[in-house]
Chain A
Amino acid sequence: MRTPDRATPVAEQPAMAPPAAPYTGRLRRLTGSWVPAALIVLMLLGVWEGYVRLWAVPKWLLPAPSLIAMTLVVSWELLLDHTLVTLLEVVVGFGLSLLGGVALACGIAASRTLERALYPFVIASQMVPIIVIAPLLLIWVGYGLTPKVIVVALTAFFPIVVNMVDGLKSVDPDAVNLLRTMGARRWQIFVKVQVPTSLPFLFSGLRVAMAVSVIGAVIGEWMGSSQGLGYLMIRSKPQFLTERVFAAIVVLSAMGVALFVLVGVIEKLAIPWWHNEQRQRSLSQEE
């Protein structure tokens, strides 16, 4: 800011507005980005660190953020091994529920009979707590990868099916009529209108599914396992290695966020028209 400006009386303030505009624009862009979230995280971490140090909280009760960071660095190899196991469970389980969920949703949307026959079971599958099913799975299919993959698939397929079915049904009846007047067959209408209409719905389902499938993997590991981040947490707790529990939580959250973002990136690549159209709409609303 130039000195003469500061000396001018308040009444002439509007004259300053034009040079100030780019500054507020930049500020808005900054506040609109990840900066506020990062500030809040830093603040919370600072309070946490200060509280632990000032009151000398024992590390098995609540480790300081600095100690957790140290653990991350020191035992990165251990963490990486277990992370890869959990990641594998999540990816395989998620992939299975994606395939199964999409197939099921197509069947439900295409046939009223299938909808009546299958939809109650889809809903009922979510009414039974996964905590109850997981130990049974251990009895049936043993330790190893399989029971965790099944738990992940069971938790993830529900949002996929429900969203995809909604998407397939939210098709514009006028667009369907348009294709009918062009002599389209039923499967052509399904492939060329219903499926593309459902994709944005499918992707919001996938994002929810991705978030819950990480939880599913941990639950599966808690029920009985010898590998994975969930196992690491459960083993470290009785050893009073609380900082390692926290380190595992940090890695787990990072993995969840990364997978979530990955789904978002794939979505943007797969259905670019949807995002551009949304942006266009929000822009015209601002005007």
Chain B
Amino acid sequence: MRLWISTENLRGVYYYSVNINGVRSLRSWEKASHPNPLSEGRAPVKLGALCPRSGRGREKNGSIKINVRSAVKRVAADAPAEVLEDAKVRVAGVSKYMLQHGQQFAVLQDVDLYANAGEFVSLIGPSGCGKSTLLNIIAGLDQPSSGTLYLNGRCAEQRLGTVGYMQQKDLLLPWRSVLDNVILGLELRGVSRRFARTRALALMEQFGLKGFETAYPYTLSGGMRQRAAFLRTILPEQEVFLLDEPFGALDALNRAQIHEWLLGLWETLHKTIVLVTHDVDEAIFLSDRLYVMTARPGRVQLVQVIDLPRPRRLEMVTSAHFVALKARLLAALRQERAADL
């Protein structure tokens, strides 16, 4: 849980952002990366309010001791202000720093994005713009250095297992048959194997895997492996799915087919999808909205609403509107590359 604290002195008001997860008392704090937490719709807590006994935090040598329990209570009281009703996923001011050769550099800087319920959102950008890092953070594999992540309108610190995540590699386990690979997510949640298998078998045909239930993954073609990985991702029926370049390994013909198939499926599922890709055509064809990101550090450069009618058809790729959108996005990407050089 991240907490905003404001302090006042003669020079003015200062805001601090503190992570109070599992801490009983705070000894250090960092200055907020955002100048004003109100931009996030959250009221900062006055430092004095956190230390009811003395009326103010005991400040000493730049470190401070506060009553965390009361701080948590305050945040809980403010909770209604935090809930953003419509957004399934909201990334608010997320930055990620990493160390390389002993030097700190920013992978993501102040990334803000959201995805509403039932929305198909894409992230495109040059390689090295931290797209995969961002998905790792949303999935909970990684934590942001600063900023907050909201899932279903709630601040989600421990979020592993709440969103479905399909990585670039299909990661089918070679010792499990296709059917047993597909039910992995359900199995880990304690669903009985028999029930999980029945559920999966019902979907095998829709995913073009009928007849391959007992086959081992190495016997499958690339497209089938990808579909099996996708079935494994959606079977636990989470609200949000993150797809990290899932079609990267497929050839153009297979891709076009799987795009149409995916859209058909998505329309029946009513789920939120966040797709990462470097293919502009793919992003336009599939998405409701897409974010163009810059490289090193990754930032959101452009948000583009794709107002092509649904259902999308393959012919739309050559329509004037599609081409205009593509030109605009390519220009944005090129500009980014030029700035990089």
**Which residue numbers of A lie inside 8 Å of B, CB to CB?**
172, 174-175, 177-184, 188, 192-193, 196, 199, 271, 273-274, 276-277, 280
Q: Min CB distance, B110 to chain A, in Å?
A: 25
Known: A181-B165, A277-B174, A280-B218. 11 other contacts (CB 8 A): A179-B188, A181-B139, A183-B161, A183-B162, A184-B161, A192-B188, A271-B175, A273-B174, A273-B216, A273-B218, A274-B175
The reply on B140 being an interface residue by CB < 8 A is yes
Which of A172, A184, A199, A274 interacts with B188 by CB under 8 Å? Answer: A184
- Chain B contacts of A276 at CB under 8 A? 216, 218
Chain B interface size, as a band, is: 20 to 34
Which B194-239 residues sit within 8 Å CB-CB of chain A? 216, 218-219, 236
- Tell me, yes or no, whether B269 is within 8 Å of chain A by CB: no
Given A192-B184, A271-B175, residue A277 in contact with residue B160 (CB < 8 A): no
Residues of B with C-beta under 8 A to A179 = 184, 188
Residues of B bordering A, CB below 8 Å: 139-141, 160-165, 167, 169, 171, 173-175, 184-185, 187-189, 216, 218-219, 236
User: Is A172 in contact with B161, judged by CB distance below 8 angstroms?
Assistant: no
A58 to B60, CA, bound (A): 98
What are 17 A-B residue pairs whose CB atoms fall within 8 Å in the complex? A174-B171, A178-B167, A178-B171, A181-B140, A181-B141, A182-B189, A183-B160, A183-B189, A184-B161, A192-B173, A199-B175, A273-B175, A273-B218, A274-B174, A274-B175, A276-B216, A277-B218
The reply to whether B163 and A181 form a contact with Cβ atoms under 8 Å apart is yes
Q: How far is the CA of A182 from the CA of B166 in the complex (A)?
A: 10
User: How far, in angstroms, from A181 to B164 measured CA to CA in the complex?
Assistant: 7
- Closest residue on chain A to residue B184 by CB atoms: A182
With A172-B171, A174-B171, A193-B173 known as contacts, the answer to whether A182 contacts B185 (CB < 8 A) is yes
The interface centre, meaning the residue of A172, A177, A188, A271 with most chain B CB atoms within 10 A of its CB, is A177
List the A side residues contacting B169 at CB < 8 Å. 174
Complex Cα distance, B159 from A180, in Å, reads: 10
Interchain pairs with CB closer than 8 A, number: 60
In the complex, what residues of B have CB within 8 A of residue A180's CB?
140-141, 160
A180 to B188 Cα, complex, angstroms: 10
* Cβ–Cβ contact B188 & A182, under 8 A: yes
Grouping DSSP codes into helix (H, G, I), strand (E, B) and loop, the A interface class, with mixed when no group exceeds half, is helix
- Which B residue's beta carbon lies closest to that of A183? B161
A182 contacts B161, CB within 8 Å?
A: yes
Residues of B within 8 A of A273 (CB): 174-175, 216, 218
Contact in complex: B175, A196 (CB < 8 Å): yes
Closest to A189 in B: B188
Question: What is the CB-to-nearest-CB distance from B12 to chain A, in angstroms, rounded to a whole number?
Answer: 43
Which of B140, B160, B164 counts the most A-chain CB atoms under 10 A from its CB? Answer: B160
A-B pairs with lowest CB-CB distance, top 8: A183-B161, A181-B165, A196-B175, A182-B185, A277-B218, A184-B188, A181-B139, A178-B171
Q: A175 touching B171 by the CB < 8 A rule? A: yes
CB-based contact A175/B216 at 8 Å: no
Question: Which chain A residues lie closer than 8 Å to B236 at the CB level?
Answer: 182
* A136 shortest CB reach to chain B, Å: 43
Find chain B residues with CB under 8 A from A199 CB.
Answer: 175
**In the bound complex, what is the Cα–Cα distance between A199 and B173 (angstroms)?**
13
Cβ contact within 8 Å between A174 and B167? yes
Residues of B within 8 A of A182 (CB): 161, 184-185, 188-189, 236
Known contacts: A183-B161, A276-B216, A277-B174. The answer to whether A177 contacts B189 by CB under 8 A is no
Set of chain B residues within 8 Å of A196, measured between Cβ atoms: 173, 175
Instruction: Return the chain A residue nearest B165 by Cβ.
Output: A181
CB distance from B107 to the nearest CB of A (A): 17
Minimum C-beta distance from B11 to chain A (A): 45
Contacts of B188 in A (CB 8 A): 179, 182-184, 188, 192
- Taken together as a complex, chains A and B put the C-alpha atoms of A120 and B173 apart, in Å, by 33
Q: B178 to chain A: closest CB distance in Å?
A: 12
Nearest CB on A from B152, distance (A): 16
For B175, what are the chain A residues with a Cβ–Cβ distance below 8 Å? 196, 199, 271, 273-274
CA A159 to CA B60, docked complex, whole Å? 58
The reply to whether A181 and B216 contact each other, CB–CB distance below 8 Å, is no
Q: What residues of chain A lie closer than 8 Å to B140, measured between beta carbons? A: 180-181
Question: CA separation between A244 and B299, bound complex, in Å?
Answer: 82
Residues of the B chain whose Cβ atoms lie less than 8 Å from the Cβ of A193:
173
Q: Could you tell me if A181 and B171 are in contact, using CB atoms closer than 8 angstroms?
A: no
CB-nearest residue of chain B relative to A179?
B188
Contact A177 B174 (CB under 8 A): no
Given known pairs A180-B160, A277-B218, the reply for A175 and B184 (CB within 8 Å) is no
- Rounded to whole Å, the gap between the CB of A214 and the closest CB of chain B is 30
Which of A196, A273, A280 is the most central at the interface, judged by chain B CB atoms within 10 Å of its CB? A273
Which of chain A's residues have a CB closer than 8 A to the CB of B185? 182
Contact A277-B139, Cβ < 8 Å, known A174-B171, A175-B171, A183-B189: no
- Chain B residues with Cβ below 8 Å from A274 are 174-175
Most chain B CB neighbours (cut-off 10 Å) among A174, A182, A276, A277: A182
Whole-angstrom CA separation of A183 from B236 in the bound complex? 11
A181 to B139, CA, bound (A): 6
Of B162, B174, B175, most buried by chain A (CB within 10 Å of CB) is B175
